[in-house]
Structure formats: structure tokens, C-alpha cells
Amino acid sequence: MTTAFRIGTRASALALWQANWVKSQLEKAGILVELVQIKTTGDKILNVPLSEVGGKGLFTKEIDEALLDGRVDAAVHSMKDIPFQLPPGIIFGAVPEREDPRDALISNGRKFDDLPPAARIGTSSLRRQVQLRHARPSIRISTLRGNVDTRLRKLNDGEFDAIVLALAGLKRLGRDSEVSQVLDETLMLPAIGQGALGIACREGDTPTRERLAPLDHQPTHIAITAERGLLAALEGSCKVPIAGHARLQDGNVTLKGLVANLDGTVVITDELTGDPHKAHDLGIALGKELIRRGAGDILAEIGQNGSSR
């Protein structure tokens, strides 16, 4: 009897889509795969903003524990949910090709500029909140948690004038036809890692690393490495409004980063271009530059006073 290769995943529709995609790619190589559904802290706490209950790691901690104690052989995460520092003993076995990293506005057809001055927009992301407030200070932001179906249902029930979701998740679930507007990066810089998957495994598990290696997409891996360098420099979490997106072009990697205060009245952005082989160092350098330009004061204030408004 052949032992199945076990993949740990959350049980949401999007997480299962992502895990099943990885499963299908491995099965093409003749590998027997079993999905192991694991409930995380973030799945259990749905009535409190993420920024108030611990930030990043809420959707990965229990799965990482299962990986480390051998209950699963690999784990599939949304990259934007992964803390800037992986637990000791865990590495990325593969970073597959990224889906579109941008955010999407769903508003029953209206574009962002066409929404009423006091439109009520639903999102639980501080990053989205501050960029929306910066663009239109009069709008009202309301906390919105839950899976994609839950959020879309609340919009359709009239609880919001619009909601903002990651375009990648909508595409993967076949719900992108409901998008009213794909938000340009000049309005909404994406979350670090948005649209990408991180397939984690144990560092010393050579057979698993060899199985996962064909799924790695080097340009995406390089871009994510740069973005996570920025996240590390800023020690980012869901408690802090941080955004970042890297892309490879003409043999270089260009990384744009953003830090804002909670009101969206101060938004600090910058970008650097450098050697793809030093992507992580590029991210660190951009983080230090943002700190020099004032991001450090913002981060310190949030650290002292919290992220609630």
C-alpha cells in the first residue's frame, strides 16, 4: 500500500481550491496526495478585526505545527497570510506562478469614483482602509470578515455600498465576473505576497523538497523574496498598514513599498530597482529607506497606541 503525500490546508473554499490545485499538479507526476483540513485561529475568530487579534500567523500557526510534528508533509498557504519569519525548521518548498496581485472593488457595477461621498465600504484590511481613506476621506469603512461567499452575500444584502477583495481569490473561485473595478496600484498597492501561494515543507525533508521543486516559478519566487525582505525590515503584521509589490523586468527586480498612518492622511511610498539575486537585500534596503522617510515614526506610534481607531 502506497502512503499518500499529505498536504495541510485550511477548509475555506479558496484554501481548498489552492490546495487542490497543488494536489492536481503533484498527481500529474504520479504522486498520491491526501488533503488534511486544519482549522486555524483565524478561522475561529470571525467577529473581530484581524488587527486586534494577533495579525499574521492567525491562518498558519496550527498548520505549521502539524507540519513540524509530522502530521502533514507540506502545507499550502496564501502567501500574504505568512509572517515575515517562518518558524524554525520550515522553508518554502515552492512558490508557484502568481495570479493577478491587484485588489478588486465589488459594488454592483459602480466604480470607486462613482460611489456616494459617504459610501460604506467593507474590508478588514488596514492596508486597504488607509489607501481608501487617503483617496476619499469622506467614505465610511466598516469591518468585514468571513470567506468570499459570506462577504459577497453581505454586499448583496445591502450592508455595504462596496467591498474590496483580492482579485486573485475571485479569479480562482470563478467569481471575477462580479468585479466592478480592478483597482490600479496607484490607488491601491497590493498586500505583500498577494496573489501568490507558499508551499511550505520541513527544511530537512529532502524527498518532499524534490517533489515540490517542479512547482516553483522562479520569477514569482524572486518577487516574493523581495517583498518579504521589505516585510522583514518593517516587521510587518496585520496590525500595520504596509503594502508592497515587486516585479521582474529587463533582468532587474523593481519593488514598490508603502506605509501609512491609520487615518490615511500620511502615506509614504518609494521604490527601488536591483539585482534579482539580491532580492531580499533589496527589500531590506527599501524598508530602511521608508523608515528614514518617516515610516518608523508611524510604526512606533501604532506599536504604542494600537491599531484600533
Q: What is the bridge-based pairing of β-strands 33-37 and 5-9?
A: parallel
- In the beta sheet, which residues pair with residue 75? 8, 200
- Beta strands, E only, 236-300: 242-249, 252-260, 267-274
Tell me how far apart the alpha carbons of residues 246 and 272 are, in angstroms, rounded to a whole number: 9
Which one is catalytic: 73, 81, 103, 161?
81
Tell me how far apart the alpha carbons of residues 67 and 63 are, in angstroms, rounded to a whole number: 6
- Beta strands, E only, 28-73: 33-37
Residue the block writes with cell 466592478: 180
Residue 149 bears catalytic tag: no
Tell me how far apart the alpha carbons of residues 133 and 139 are, in angstroms, rounded to a whole number: 7
What lies within 8 Å, CB to CB, of 259 at 6+ separation is 234, 240, 241, 242, 267, 268, 290, 295, 298, 299
- Of the candidates 27, 28, 10, 30, the one whose C-alpha atom is nearest the C-alpha of residue 19 is 10
Cβ neighbourhood burial of 50 (10 Å; 0-12, 13-18, 19+)? buried
Tell me how far apart the alpha carbons of residues 82 and 242 are, in angstroms, rounded to a whole number: 14
First to last CA, the chain: 57
Tell me how far apart the alpha carbons of residues 69 and 63 are, in angstroms, rounded to a whole number: 10
Catalytic residues: 81
